A and B are shown apart, each in its own frame.
Chain A
Amino acid sequence: MFRTARQRITFSDIMVWVIGLSIAVVVVWGTISTLQSGKYSAESWFDLVIKGLALGGVYALIAMGYTLVYGILRMINFAHSEVFMSGPFTAVFLAQALNESGFLNRQPLLSILAIAVVSMLVSMTIAILVERVAYRPLRNAPRLVPLITAIGASFFLQYTFRGFYGSGFEAYPTIETLNGSWVFGGVQLFKTQAVVIISAFLMMFLLYAIVMWSKLGKAMRAVSEDKEAAALMGIDVDKIIVFTFALGGAAAGAGGVLYILQFPVVHFYMGFIPGLKAFTAAVLGGIGNVPGAFLGSMVLGLLESVGPNLFLDGLGIPTASQLKDAIAFIILVFILIFRPSGILGERLTKSKA
């Protein structure tokens, strides 16, 4: 967007700016009229913001898988939604067994940890398998080829899990410790959401630390910059790629546990929408960029949660909440018009820029 005066401004540039400005006008106008109408109490807004952050936390953990793989292989792993689904859809059987034996509510912390471990392990295994079977043989093929196998792998996984666990859905039992809420001066904070937000922050920090400060993380970043040079420096590129998929898969499995704490129903098709949203969040924040994925996810979660009531209610649009996805994606367009490589920018090195 930073052009010198000598560069010509084309017609499509003007169109894009007009679209961007009209989105901005509608958003500002809608927000002002909603706030003036006073339809929603401060308590409602607080509730929506918290729910948005909790949703964003889940998106962030899924988005890590997209962003890490993109950073290394420059490809979008469209099977990642199924990697996300596989963990919680498998761990539900453990949760049900723990509930039946009564262990779940006697040792809630241990139970949640066990569920999380199972979920992360399953998602990690699936991610590694997908890499081994669907991507590695095509490492040197043209870029579009692994994209198609990714879609194929996605369908294959969906229907495999449908075959394994059935086409109906399974519900997670209620964990009694997490029921209820704390009240601070009129606003209510539900325990589940607090747990989700705090865990999401912690896990994102852990992932960031692994990528930035561990030896493997350093090797990952080296492979991301230049595969050949990294191989010449004695880095086993295949191993690093497997590690990347494993890390992304484990993050998705952990995200799955946070997801089921909020929406405790799982089925074979559950990965599709969150996967799509997380991918969007990764692009929004700047794909290939770890803090960007986190920021993008939080922004997307908030937009989805607060957006319909804040932007559209004041304009008198009926059933605004059904348009929440449309709002989220329009804001995505808006941001990408002004920052084409995402909020924090795609992490480009000299060789790729």
Chain B
Amino acid sequence: MLKQKFAALSLVLVASLLFAACGGGTPAYGGAPAYECTDALGCVEIGPDDPIHIAYALVVSGPNETLGIDSRNGIEIAIADTGGEILGHAVQFDGEDTGCSAEGGQAAGTRLAADPTIVAVIGTSCSSEARVAVPLFADAGFVVVSPSNTAPDLTEPGNANSYPGYMRTAHNDEVQGAVAAEFAYNVLGVRSAATIHDGSLYAEKLQEVFAESFAALGGTVTTQEAVDPNQTDMSSVLTSIAAGSPELIYFPIFMPAGGFLIRQARTTPGLEATELMGADGLFSPDVMEGGGAEIEGFMVSSPLVQGAEYDAFVASYEETFGTTPISIFHAHAYDAYMLIKAAIEAAAIVQNDGTIFIPRQALRDAMYATSNFSGLTGNLSCTPTGDCADPYIAVYEYHAGEYPPEVIWQP
């Protein structure tokens, strides 16, 4: 009895598999393929009615979800603005959550890299994810464009964390760290600073660049501390910082640790009046919640995007999602999609029946060849290691009950 059931079940399974295979097959098998793929990394073949698959690998859940959701919103607007099509093919857009951690990046990277229909990936959100996910994408032959990775390692020539096929439309923290140090020294007029990182690639590098630039300007770095990203009690780290009595604490980390630092700094003896400064990782409405009333006067360095095109973008963002942009890397994500679209159009080989072939290496080459591409965030040109941004960093200040924070300084 049981055996019979099993047999019937397996028959059904086999039949359904056959059906699936027939249904999903590309019609190109009918005639002789007109195009012979000679690309070093192979080609993606897209049938006349098949979509072009572009995936995201962004943090869309958890404490830093606004960072990734905001970028995803930017991409969705870019897709809508271009009619949802590339070369007459619909765009299939989906992806994976990366959780703003190395573990999340690993999981999302493994899942996406296993899908050979993907042409390009937009992501990751956090640099720690990039360090583990990008090698997987690079092996799979994808083009990867990050809207918000800023760690210098990722595009540094010869660095072990720099991979072929990786590009970013976000600024490099070599720029952000230097701007933050310049602001602290010249505009705020502080002469001593302490830094805190959370062990992530992003935070560790950024505070390092800040500390070097600040010292080069003539300032003193009293101490460079570290916290755990899930730490809630900051009393011992803040007490040991207070012993050096710095005028500024620079902590380019994420939520929720950033919120706890903001709150607890004010209740640590010796730090009642110390200036607090973070970076783009703490540009999010969650910082308002996490920081409570102590948020007043907290500063962050972040990119500033301006211009009529950007205003139009914000208007359609508001119309589509019913809110002003919730974080800062929406325009960068928009540009990332536009770069990919332009490169696909340049590299793809279109057949008479509507089938297109996208040679993966040629697509990468087309991406790296980007020069003076007019995007929302400026004129983008890619370096051979993938820095495509036209960075413009400003400093913002939070006020209790007001979001987004106010721009208080721009270079």
Residues of A within 8 A of B (CB): 39-41, 43-44, 47-48, 51-52, 55, 167-171, 173-174, 179, 181, 188, 190, 262-265, 267, 269-270, 273, 304-309, 313, 318-322, 324-325
Query: Is the beta-carbon distance between A48 and B226 smaller than 8 angstroms?
Result: no
CB of B125, distance to nearest CB on chain A (Å): 15
Query: Is the beta-carbon distance between B63 and A169 smaller than 8 angstroms?
Result: yes
Query: Is the beta-carbon distance between B243 and A273 smaller than 8 angstroms?
Result: no
Query: Is the beta-carbon distance between A309 and B256 smaller than 8 angstroms?
Result: no
Query: Is the beta-carbon distance between A309 and B292 smaller than 8 angstroms?
Result: no
Does B156 count as interface, using CB distance less than 8 angstroms? no
B62: chain A residues within 8 A (beta carbon):
167-168
Does B371 count as interface, using CB distance less than 8 angstroms? no
Which residues of chain B in 227-267 are interfacial with respect to chain A, using CB atoms and an 8 Å cutoff? Answer: 227-228, 230, 232-233, 235-237, 239-240, 242-243, 255-256, 259-260, 263, 267
B232: chain A residues within 8 A (beta carbon):
263, 265, 270, 273
Query: Is the beta-carbon distance between B235 and A305 smaller than 8 angstroms?
Result: yes
Q: Given the interface contacts A44-B270, A169-B255, does A51 sit within 8 Å of B228 by beta carbon? A: no
Q: Given the interface contacts A48-B235, A55-B233, A322-B228, does A169 sit within 8 Å of B256 by beta carbon? A: yes
Q: Given the interface contacts A44-B242, A169-B255, A267-B256, does A309 sit within 8 Å of B236 by beta carbon? A: yes
Total chain B interface residues with beta-carbon distance under 8 A: 33
Does B50 count as interface, using CB distance less than 8 angstroms? no
For B65, give the chain A residue with the smallest CB separation: A168
A181: chain B residues within 8 A (beta carbon):
267
Does B269 count as interface, using CB distance less than 8 angstroms? yes
Query: Is the beta-carbon distance between A321 and B286 smaller than 8 angstroms?
Result: no
Residue with the highest number of chain A CB atoms closer than 10 Å, among B240, B268, B286: B240
| Contact residue among A169, A262, A307, A321 (Cβ-Cβ distance under 8 Å from B289) | A169
B233: chain A residues within 8 A (beta carbon):
51, 55, 262-263, 304-305
Query: Is the beta-carbon distance between A321 and B267 smaller than 8 angstroms?
Result: no
Does B379 count as interface, using CB distance less than 8 angstroms? no
A173: chain B residues within 8 A (beta carbon):
292
Given the complex of chains A and B, what is the CA–CA distance between A57 and B196 in angstroms?
28
Query: Is the beta-carbon distance between B227 and A322 smaller than 8 angstroms?
Result: yes
Query: Is the beta-carbon distance between A171 and B243 smaller than 8 angstroms?
Result: no
Given A44-B243, A264-B263, A309-B239, 20 further pairs, Cβ under 8 A: A40-B240, A44-B239, A44-B269, A47-B239, A48-B236, A169-B256, A174-B292, A188-B269, A263-B233, A265-B260, A265-B290, A267-B63, A273-B230, A306-B236, A319-B226, A321-B225, A321-B227, A321-B236, A324-B236, A325-B228
B61: chain A residues within 8 A (beta carbon):
167-168
Query: Is the beta-carbon distance between A265 and B269 smaller than 8 angstroms?
Result: no
Query: Is the beta-carbon distance between B235 and A313 smaller than 8 angstroms?
Result: no
Residues of B within 8 A of A (CB): 61-63, 65, 224-228, 230, 232-233, 235-237, 239-240, 242-243, 255-256, 259-260, 263, 267-270, 286, 289-290, 292-293
For A37, give the chain B residue with the smallest CB separation: B243
The contact sample of 15 A-B pairs, CB cut-off 8 A, is A43-B269, A47-B269, A51-B233, A167-B61, A167-B62, A169-B256, A174-B293, A190-B267, A273-B232, A305-B235, A305-B236, A309-B239, A321-B236, A322-B227, A324-B236
A40: chain B residues within 8 A (beta carbon):
239-240, 243
A44: chain B residues within 8 A (beta carbon):
239, 242-243, 269-270
Given the complex of chains A and B, what is the CA–CA distance between A269 and B255 in angstroms?
14
Given the complex of chains A and B, what is the CA–CA distance between A45 and B97 in angstroms?
43
CB of B272, distance to nearest CB on chain A (Å): 10
For A320, give the chain B residue with the smallest CB separation: B240
Query: Is the beta-carbon distance between B63 and A168 smaller than 8 angstroms?
Result: yes
A52: chain B residues within 8 A (beta carbon):
235
B242: chain A residues within 8 A (beta carbon):
44
Query: Is the beta-carbon distance between A264 and B236 smaller than 8 angstroms?
Result: no
Query: Is the beta-carbon distance between A51 and B226 smaller than 8 angstroms?
Result: no
Given the complex of chains A and B, what is the CA–CA distance between A306 and B233 in angstroms?
12
Top 7 A-B pairs ranked by shortest CB distance?
A171-B289, A321-B237, A321-B236, A167-B61, A319-B226, A263-B232, A51-B235
Q: What does DSSP make chain B's interface, helix, strand, loop or mixed?
A: mixed
CB of B169, distance to nearest CB on chain A (Å): 26
CB of B260, distance to nearest CB on chain A (Å): 6
CB of B137, distance to nearest CB on chain A (Å): 24
CB of A92, distance to nearest CB on chain B (Å): 10
CB of B239, distance to nearest CB on chain A (Å): 5
Q: Given the interface contacts A39-B243, A40-B243, A304-B233, does A322 sit within 8 Å of B292 by beta carbon? A: no
A41: chain B residues within 8 A (beta carbon):
269-270
Query: Is the beta-carbon distance between B292 and A264 smaller than 8 angstroms?
Result: yes
Query: Is the beta-carbon distance between B260 and A263 smaller than 8 angstroms?
Result: yes
Given the complex of chains A and B, what is the CA–CA distance between A297 and B265 in angstroms?
25
Q: Given the interface contacts A308-B236, A324-B236, does A319 sit within 8 Å of B269 by beta carbon? A: no
For B230, give the chain A residue with the smallest CB separation: A273
Residue with the highest number of chain A CB atoms closer than 10 Å, among B65, B227, B268, B269: B269
CB of B236, distance to nearest CB on chain A (Å): 4
A309: chain B residues within 8 A (beta carbon):
236, 239-240
For B227, give the chain A residue with the smallest CB separation: A322
Given the complex of chains A and B, what is the CA–CA distance between A248 and B235 in angstroms?
28
A39: chain B residues within 8 A (beta carbon):
243
CB of B42, distance to nearest CB on chain A (Å): 37
Given the complex of chains A and B, what is the CA–CA distance between A339 and B348 in angstroms?
72
B270: chain A residues within 8 A (beta carbon):
41, 44
For B235, give the chain A residue with the smallest CB separation: A51
B267: chain A residues within 8 A (beta carbon):
181, 190
Q: Given the interface contacts A44-B243, A48-B235, A305-B235, does A265 sit within 8 Å of B289 by beta carbon? A: yes
Q: Given the interface contacts A43-B269, A313-B240, A319-B224, does A170 sit within 8 Å of B289 by beta carbon? A: yes
B65: chain A residues within 8 A (beta carbon):
167-168
CB of B156, distance to nearest CB on chain A (Å): 24
Q: Given the interface contacts A168-B65, A263-B260, does A322 sit within 8 Å of B269 by beta carbon? A: no
CB of A55, distance to nearest CB on chain B (Å): 6
Given the complex of chains A and B, what is the CA–CA distance between A169 and B62 in angstroms?
7
Given the complex of chains A and B, what is the CA–CA distance between A55 and B267 in angstroms?
15
A43: chain B residues within 8 A (beta carbon):
269
A168: chain B residues within 8 A (beta carbon):
61-63, 65, 286
Q: Given the interface contacts A47-B268, A190-B267, A305-B233, does A319 sit within 8 Å of B225 by beta carbon? A: yes
CB of A158, distance to nearest CB on chain B (Å): 13
Given the complex of chains A and B, what is the CA–CA distance between A319 and B256 in angstroms?
20
CB of B196, distance to nearest CB on chain A (Å): 9
Query: Is the beta-carbon distance between A171 and B290 smaller than 8 angstroms?
Result: yes
For B197, give the chain A residue with the smallest CB separation: A319
B239: chain A residues within 8 A (beta carbon):
40, 44, 47-48, 309
Given the complex of chains A and B, what is the CA–CA distance between A48 and B264 in angstroms?
12
Given the complex of chains A and B, what is the CA–CA distance between A44 and B268 in angstroms?
8
